[in-house]
Amino acid sequence: MRRPTVLALHYQNDVLHPDGRIRVGLAADDPARDAVLDAAIRLQQGARARGWPIIHVRVAYRPDYADLVQNAPILRAVAASGAVQEGSWGAQFHDALKPLEGPDEFVVTHTRINAFYGTPLDTLLRQLDARQLLIAGVATHSVVESTVRHAVDCGFEVTVLADACAAARPATHLAALESMRLIATVTDVANALESMP
């Protein structure tokens, strides 16, 4: 079996940090934050220990947002909040989840909801000869679900790591996971690491 490839979506300050500007994935005082961070850290550490590639996907825009097509409420909200401007603290990866230098770690930046759209992600995955993707990130019902659906349509086998994902409303998180069960395996970080040595 080929080694799986991890897609770590939006583990950035504006998304994960309590002082971040984006609240779609976690509320400012969300008690789920520590658990999501812990799961994401365990995922990255486990992947590194096993030699699995990690693709760190970030969203970022020019400070003037000229590259942000504001055709959806979530995208207009990003511009209104001043979030994830290229070069800002908010656009940087959370300190606990920064990419490491090395041949198995990559960074992809995107400007839409789906991490594949308008990016070299598909080409990079083909270069890595990836077949099995482990996908996690914030928010579950936004970048995660959109990226999972695209990945499945591209022919990848997808596993969603539920405990390393979050939505600001728990019911929204659970509904997105239930929706994705039709097309992907939904499990947690511990089970994925154990079942894919």
Domain containing residue 29: CATH number: 3.40.50.850
What pLDDT, on a 0 to 100 scale, did the predictor assign at position 158? 98
d(CA 93, CA 134): 19
Q: Is the pLDDT of residue 51 over 80?
A: yes
Mean pLDDT of 131-154: 98
What pLDDT, on a 0 to 100 scale, did the predictor assign at position 29? 85
Q: For residue 150, what is the enclosing H or E element?
A: helix 145-153
Q: Is the pLDDT of residue 28 over 70?
A: yes
Instruction: Please state the domain count of the chain.
Output: 1
What is the domain range of residue 61?
5-195
Mean pLDDT of 59-83: 97
What pLDDT, on a 0 to 100 scale, did the predictor assign at position 174? 98
Is 138 in contact with 20 (CB distance < 8 Å)?
A: no
What pLDDT, on a 0 to 100 scale, did the predictor assign at position 1? 55
d(CA 100, CA 123): 21
| Band of pLDDT at residue 44, cut at 50, 70 and 90 | very high
Is 117 in contact with 110 (CB distance < 8 Å)?
A: yes
Mean pLDDT of 64-70: 98
